């Protein structure tokens, strides 16, 4: 058997955002990454000096990073002048991960009626955006002028694993006499080839109830490993005669299947067989 082994992504991004709030805020010009507009300071009528206004800026994300298309929504933190109105959050598809990457499509509004002021946020949902590269931003009206700010950082939404069996044919039922070896191979088809998997065998009874069982304890484990392609020779000597279903679970969470389940991130695991993807059936004959 092949043995192999992320803090919560959401928590890590919030921590980064809070650090950015207290340490190094990035400035962004309206309509492009970098700097932004500022509320004019109030008149000083001898009341102890002027007050600095709030600068329009996307605080987080501040550095490029990648997420899976099945990851939960990400918080986009921003500051806006208190007098800003008509505040909306958006994302815009861009060509690649570079900070000056050009837009390749129109922006898409994902949040409306947002708050002005400091320390506000809206959610960017990778599943809604789909696979690709994105900057996130906020549009608003200030003193009757329509303005917008975008993140300097690009978020890459990466495809999730989409496993299939290669041998035996996933649509096939293979009948072998007990003691006959069966060659197995599959492809987890993770676009980044950063995937961990668990190969398993289900009895017919286990197959009928698999939706009720966690991915890390499904069936009889055959192997665990890393990378898209897996192969195994199934030795059937100790298998009782009957019908069996091959299965595989795959995740790009950065952790094993068992660790991903333990972290409460089962949504990041793709398991077959499922409603849309068949797997090979093996009938063991006496």
pLDDT band at 20 (very low <50, low <70, confident <90, very high): very low
* Of 33-42, 72-81, 105-114, 194-203, the least confident: 33-42
Domains 9-158 and 164-285 share a fold: yes
CATH topology of domain 164-285: Immunoglobulin-like (2.60.40)
Name the residue ranges covered by the structural domains of the chain. Answer: 9-158, 164-285
pLDDT band at 56 (very low <50, low <70, confident <90, very high): very high
CATH topology of domain 9-158: Immunoglobulin-like (2.60.40)
Cross-sheet strand order for the sheet of 229-234? 164-167, 182-187, 229-234
Structure tokens at 235: 């030795």
Q: Give the model confidence (pLDDT) of 128-143 as tens digits.
A: 999 999 999 999 999 9
Beta strand pairing call for 132-142 and 145-150: antiparallel
Bridge partner list, 155: 65, 134
Q: Which residue pairs, CB below 8 angstroms and at least 24 apart, start in 264-269?
A: 266/214, 266/215, 267/70, 267/72, 268/68, 268/70, 268/71, 268/160, 269/215
Phi-psi category of 178—alpha, beta or left, where left has phi over 0 and alpha has psi -120 to 50? beta
CA pair distance 135, 16, nearest whole angstrom: 17
pLDDT for the residue 197: 98
Structure tokens at 275: 């409603």
């Amino acid at each position: 058997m092949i043995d192999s082994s992320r803090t919560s992504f959401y928590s890590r991004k919030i921590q980064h955002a809070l650090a950015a709030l207290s340490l190094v805020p990035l400035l962004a010009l309206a309509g492009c990454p970098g700097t932004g507009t500022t509320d004019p300071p109030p008149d000083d009528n001898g009341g102890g000096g002027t007050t600095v206004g709030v600068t329009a800026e996307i605080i987080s994300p501040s550095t490029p990073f990648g997420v899976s298309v099945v990851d939960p929504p990400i918080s986009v933190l921003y500051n806006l002048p208190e007098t800003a109105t008509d505040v909306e959050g958006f994302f815009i598809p861009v060509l690649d991960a570079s900070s000056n990457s050009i837009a390749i499509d129109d922006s898409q509004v994902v949040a409306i009626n947002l708050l002005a002021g400091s320390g506000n946020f809206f959610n960017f949902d990778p599943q809604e955006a789909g696979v690709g590269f994105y900057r996130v931003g906020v549009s608003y009206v200030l003193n009757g002028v329509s303005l917008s700010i975008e993140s300097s950082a690009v978020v890459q939404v990466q495809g999730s694993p989409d496993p299939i069996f290669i041998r035996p044919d996933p649509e096939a039922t293979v009948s072998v006499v007990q003691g006959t070896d069966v060659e197995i191979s599959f492809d987890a088809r993770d676009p980044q080839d950063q995937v961990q998997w668990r190969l398993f065998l289900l009895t017919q009874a286990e197959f009928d109830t698999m939706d009720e069982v966690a991915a890390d304890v499904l069936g009889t484990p055959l192997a665990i490993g890393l990378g898209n392609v897996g192969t195994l020779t199934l030795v059937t000597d100790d298998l009782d005669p009957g019908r069996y279903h091959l299965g595989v679970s795959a995740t790009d969470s950065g952790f094993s299947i068992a660790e991903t389940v333990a972290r409460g991130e089962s949504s990041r695991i793709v398991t077959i067989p499922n409603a849309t993807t068949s797997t090979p059936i093996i009938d063991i004959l006496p």
